[in-house]
Structures are given as structure tokens and as C-alpha cells.
Structure 1
């Protein structure tokens, strides 16, 4: 048996002060004056393209006008009426390819209104006041099970509770939040924000959280259908794609999702082991988050290997530039073919009529740690009909099983937090309409 790929992996590469600086808030929040100045740049368009570009249809010109007139809590309500997780979305949404890309200022000047930072200012102001802008309707007597306490599940649960239904919220993890709690880079969500936002959301009342409950093991879909009037599935993506190259099962080769989750839950970053030479396989947001955080933990050389052209990377150009600004190297048109005791061998690729293939030319990268970030898949269970490996839904999240809805990453569509929030909200409204007979 060959030697493992782990001798260079060690904890404590950087002192606690440096780590604290490295993992500080990526974007410092606005103060009141900065927010007012940023809000004054908005044209308050009548037919605002930024609204159309927002998956949750927030009235962006309205909330920015409310900020400009000194009403940040009113602005927060405008945001939260459409997106109850507006605080987290302000931190993690790729606004540069959504609302800010559509901003008229971006088109005219190449410098959009900073909508995301303004949204954060408004929602943070409300949370700091420990104020919850919504109240529950009169109890309906209906009970709904929501499986998965990620963005889709939390959004669905809140809207159902606000409409007067009693919600049992189940999650396999010990904490609610899903991707927000376990899958986002630490520098994007500091000071335990995901947990604080989930706790704030549940101030609406009527939501009972059950953690450590896994569908298919601790509870079954049949039991939920029997015990509740409706079921919503916001399960996310539980399975991680594996590398198929030789040596992919060596020590020191792991998935980026686990690395990010471990980092997010660590109370002391200096205890986290990291290699000197790290390679991340993949080109999406998870790959960038893993690569940047490896660098911030003290890795000397970090490389992202992506099999297609850099312009085709799923991660936004902003995220790519962030990675390179932190010292991460991006190697496009390369794919792994073998991992050994010294690192990994990559083969250069080319596209022939849209089909990716190897060129036969290779290079060897020194590596003592390799992270897989080549996508996640729906783990699946004996339940609703699937389509292309995910739960098939029609309209506002209706599955093939009557009385069962689904949304978020476990269904088809973009794997974005803001899209999951919209899915949960819209499914909740359809569940409410169904249960009320309207």
C-alpha cells in the first residue's frame, strides 16, 4: 500500500489574531450615513429591472427609498414580506449577476447601486432591534410537516405559521439553517448570523423544531402524511459526487462540503488542519469557498482545477476574482486523472463539438490535500417521482403525491439560497390555498 497523502496537513499554521483578521466580515456593513449616500444613487425606476431580476420579487426601489427617508425598519418589512431570509440573502446572493447586474446604474456607468449591502443594512437594523414585523393569523387547526430546516424549509414554515397553521419542522442536523448554517464560507456569514436569523424567524410562533430527525430513518413520508394535513420537502442535496480517477480514495482526499461544514462549526480555527499545497477540483461556488478558506487558514499554495474554460465556471466572475485576489490559482481546461503520494496528475482538456475530451498532455501538481467540489446530487428516497435526479414538481412545488410539496435544491432549478426561499414561500401559499379550500 502506498503512503497516504497527509504528511503536510497540520493545524495551527496561523496565529489566532491572523485567523481572526482573515475570516472577518467580507463586506463591512454600512452605517446610517453610508446607507443614505448609497440609497441616493438609486433612480427609483418606475419599471425597475432589478425587481424582475430578483427571484423573490422584492420591491427594491421602494425599500431603497424607505432607507433614503430614514425608515430602515420599514425597508426591512418591504424586503421580508417577500424574502423572510433577506438578511442572509443580502450576504450570500450573487447580486452581481442578479439585481445589481440589471441595475440601470450598472448599464449606464458600470457601477450599480449596492442593493445587497443596502438590503443588509435594513434587515440588520430590524434584527438589532429584536423586532419581528409579522404576527400570526388566527389558528386554522391545520398541521403541516416541513422536512428540512434550510432556506426553503424555513421560508415555507414561516409563511405557513404566519397564515395560522401549526408547523412541525424536521431536520437531520443538530442546528437549523441548512446550507446557511453549514455550507456558506465563514467570511460571508460572521457572528453566528445563520443561527440568529433562524431563531429570529421562529419568533413568529407556531413552529416546533425537531432536530436530529432524518427522513427515511427516524421518520417516514407515510407517517408524515398520516399525521399531518400537508407535507413540504426541503431536503437539499445530501449526496456528494465522487472523483473517478485513480487514487481518489486516498487519505487527504475529501469533499469540500464537509471541509466547509467543519470550518463553519469550529469554535477555534487554529485547530483545523490544512495542507501546505491544496488543490480543489471543481468550478462552482463551493469550490471557490473551499479554496479561499484553505488559503485563509494558512495553505501556502491553493489551486482550483476546472475541466472547462474559465468563462464557463459556474462560480460568478466576482467569486473568481475574489479567489485570485486571495492568492488562489485557477487552472482551467484541466481534469484529474490520478492521485498519488506526492500530489495529483491533471490532463489538459479541449472541447470538440461540445464534447469535452482529454488532449493527452498532462501536468503534475504537488498536493498534500485535495478537495472534491464537483457537485452534489439528491440523495433520494422512496417517495415522489423524480426528474433528472431531483424531485419533479409542477407549479408552486406540487409533487406527484397529493398533499406533498417540495422546493429548494432537491427540485429542479438554480441552486441558490434566494431561489430556495422563493420556492418555500410559494409552496406555502399553495398549501394554504389547498387547506383552506380556496
Structure 2
């Protein structure tokens, strides 16, 4: 029996996808902030990729200075509100909280962070303004977390900034690829509007940069170019039957879900292939859309999954089942998905080996491939002198994020191969300073 009924209205959709980290009220925030020990060597700060002064903003909330708390957060991380909700705080700041050593619930840092930032976003209390114009122009390709964060920092340094975005909305995977129970589109877009209103960068939507002439025009018109292009579509498995109807990529599935809400159709029995955090999201979302049976199938054992443990626990809590040590061999069916042919596996000396004669078919009517995203190597090959590593990631200086083509800088998933929103935001600020250092020396 399914844990959730298929949602038939926007109201039912929001009930099925209720926020994991709901907004705190003033009383909750006051109580939670009073629990902080304000550690001198705060391990929570060290665990935050953007280095937010967490004890400082919690103290500011506790003394009623919510605007000051928001400033402390945003000065370190331009995605302060989004990261309060979508960050894996359980393994970052909250995972480092000293209360864990005493078997006491850690401070709800993420919810406190969103509490403070939501207040300034909704009240339009502006905390920043552009720096004095310095006469230089920088163009950014991609309006995701990396591109937006870089734009904010560059505007603060006085640069004129234009962003070209292929899609119709900003924020990359924060809008298109994060599970709706982590953050709503409305919240993401409100923060984007808030940032753009303060910093005044320009964004051209539905404007993909995809040819050498496109890039040449940018190279001639701008002093530096920032690549915030992220990753591409879900990797193909190259399995027989992969083209069958109802065999979809997880990234594409989640993007459609974020766009269409309750109007998206999900199978009665769904098999999700993969063991990462995206697989957990796709499985949990399928269950919340009313799938009667959801199976996570992974080629290694449960303990070898790349997903955070709390993400797997979340999926299990909505009825998702695990099927481990199985590798897909074929998507079976006649035009439409009818099941997955698996072969059982064993891990020997770290290598996955198929066990001969152990094939079986698991029936289903939908397959979601959560098998990672492809690198955008064909596009990157259009940039002269741009070096990629063996995995298709952009090679860049570790301190400035300048690529092997000196006019180009990068950060985020195109550089790190796929990490968190907070990593993209942190790296992009450093890249903006790298651009500033490069152009100031010319």
C-alpha cells in the first residue's frame, strides 16, 4: 500500500511535499538560538564551505538583531536562504555541532539561517550595493549558484556584469534539480530577485551560448568570462531498451516535477537505478507522487552508496525499498517499460563482478536513471586552450579558478564534477576575486 495518494491539486501536492525544514516562528527561533554555546573555536564554522560565522549570527538572532544576522550570513554566502534549506547540514555545520558529542540534538543551524534571511528577503531590506564602477565588463555563462554568486561579488567590486542563461529562470539546479520538499520555487526565485535588485547585474534568459561565434563575440566584448555552466543531462547507461517509454533520467524527472507539480505522472511501480543523493530524491519524490512501489537498485552494497545516510533514511521513511548488489542488464518491455533485467553482483577487491547465471527480471512500469550527469565537453571544446582533466572537468588554478585559457574562469559543478550548492557559491566568490586580481594587473 502506497504511503501517499497521487496528488490531484496544488494543495495536495504541497501536502505530499511538505517542507523538511519548515520556517521557524519568532518564538522557535528565540528558543533555538538560546541553546547555542557560542563555542570559541566553533567547529560549525570550519564545517561550512562558505565559512559563515555561525555563532555570531545565532547570537544576533537571540538578541533580536535579525537584520544583522542576515548580513553576517549573506556576507559569507550569497545563497544564504537557499543553503539554509538545501545544504546537507546534517553532515556539515549541524554534523559538527558539539552537542553531537553529548548525544544532544544539534542546533538547527539551517532553519535559523533561513529564518533570518527570509525576513530580509520578504521585507526588501537591502544589505548591499554595487561598488564604484571600474570600467571593466565581465560576462557570465549560466545563472546557477556559481554564476549568480560570482555576479554579486563582481558587482560589489565595481564590474559591469551580464549573465547569459539558457533556461527561462535563474538559479540552476536550485530551481530545476532540488527536491520540492527541500525548498519551493517561490523561495528560490524570491532570493534571486532580492540579490539582483541590490547588485544590479543583468540576466538574459533563454539565451544559450552554444557555438564558437557566440563565444568569440563574448571574448571580444568582455574583459573576462566566467563559466558557470554546471553539468549536462543524465548519463546514458548504454543498455538495451533504454529508449523505451517511461525510462527517464533523474535530473530530467526532477526538473519536470519542479515545473509541473501534481500534473506529472509517475508509474505504479518505479525502479530507481543509482545510489547517490539524486537517486534518493528521485525515489522519495516517486513515493510522494503516489507510486505504490518504489525500489532503489544499486550495483554495490548498502554501505557503499554515495548518498548521505540521512537521505537514504528519508527515502525509507516514505516506503522506498532497497535492492542491493544488482546491476541492470536490460530495460525490458514492448515499446514501454515493463521491467528491468538485473544480474546479481559481488564486490571483490573493490571491484564489482557479475555472478554468472544469476539474472532475473524485476517488473515495473517506470525506470528512473540516477546515474550521474554528463560533462559538457562538446561545448567546452569550443574554447581554445581550455584544458579538461580525464573526467571531463575543467582544469583551473586552485587559488584563483583561472582556467588554462587566461580570459576564462570557472567554479561549481563544471569544475568539481558535481557537489553542493554551497560549494558552488563558495568557489564562485573566490573566482570573482581571481578575476579582479587578473584584471587589476593588466
Match of residue 180, structure 1, among 168, 174, 178: 174
Deviation string 1:367-409 (CA, Å, 9 cap, x unpaired) is: 1010111001211222211012111111221100112100000
The number of residue pairs the alignment matches comes to: 425
2 CA distance for matches of 1:19 and 1:235? 31
Q: Is the 8 A contact 2:233 2:252 kept in 1?
A: no
Q: State which drifts further: 271-280 or 410-419.
A: 410-419
Asked if 1:320 corresponds to 2:312, the answer is: yes
Higher relative contact order (CA 8 A, sep 6+): 1
How do 1:373-384 residues align onto structure 2 when only pairs under 5 Å count?
Answer: 373-380=370-377, 381=379, 382-383=382-383, 384=386
Of the candidates 420, 423, 436, which is equivalent to residue 432 of structure 1? 436
8 A contact 2:8–2:263 mirrored in 1: no
Note the C-alpha offset of 1:335. 1.5
Contact 1:24 1:190 in 2 (8 A): no
Q: TM-score, normalised by structure 2?
A: 0.93
Q: Secondary structure at the match of 2:81?
A: helix
Shift of 1:274: 1.1
Q: Once structures 1 and 2 are overlaid, which stretch shifts more, 372-381 or 101-110?
A: 101-110
**Higher alpha-carbon deviation: 216-225 or 237-246:** 216-225
Measured in 2, the distance between the counterparts of 1:363 and 1:99 equals: 43
Per-residue deviation, 1:345: 1.8
Q: Which residue of the partner structure matches residue 362 of structure 1? A: 359
1:390 aligns with 2:393: yes
Q: SS at 1:167's partner residue? A: strand
- Give ranges in structure 1 of 5+ residues lacking alignment: 1-11
Change (3 A) 1:218 1:51: same
Of 158, 168, 178, the residue aligned with 1:164 is: 158
1:14 aligns to 2:7 (yes or no): yes
> Is contact 1:306–1:331 with CA below 8 Å preserved after alignment?
yes
Alignment correspondent of 1:405: 409
| TM-score of the pair, normalised by structure 1 | 0.93
CA distance in 2, matches of 1:88, 1:244: 35
Q: Which runs of 4+ in 1 moved over 4 A?
A: none
Structure 2 stretches of 5 or more lacking a match?
A: none
Task: Give RMSD over aligned pairs.
Answer: 1.6
SS in 2 for 1:376: coil
Alpha-carbon shift at residue 218 of structure 1 (Å): 8.7
CA distance in 1 between counterparts of 2:285 and 2:65 reads 37
Alignment check: 8 A CA contact 1:392 1:412 kept: no
Q: Give the alignment partner of residue 292 of structure 1, picking from 284, 305, 328.
A: 284
Distance 1:110 1:338, change over 3 A: farther
- Is 2:376 the counterpart of 1:372? no
After superposition, the Cα gap between the structure-2 partners of 1:331 and 1:128, relative to the gap in structure 1 and judged at 3 Å, is same
Give yes or no for contact 1:345–1:362 (8 Å, CA) kept in 2. Answer: yes
In structure 2, the CA distance between the partners of 1:110 and 1:355, relative to structure 1 (3 Å rule), is: farther
CA distance in 2, matches of 1:315, 1:132: 37
In the aligned structure 2, how far is the partner of 1:191 from the partner of 1:415? Answer: 20
The 5 Å alignment of 1:45-194 reads: 45-190=39-184, 192-194=186-188
- How much does 1:18 deviate? 3.2
1:335 matches 2:332: no
Secondary structure of the 2:416 match is coil
2:404 is paired with a residue whose SS is: coil
> 182-191 vs 357-366, which deviates more?
357-366
2:236 to 238, 242, 259: 242
The one of 214, 217, 236 aligned to 1:223: 217
Higher deviation after alignment, 402-411 or 380-389: 380-389
Decide whether the 8 Å contact of 1:53 with 1:98 is kept in 2.
yes
Match of 1:213 in 2: 207
Q: Do 1:147 and 1:170's aligned partners in 2 also have CA atoms closer than 8 Å?
A: yes
Measure how far apart 1:159 and its partner are: 0.8
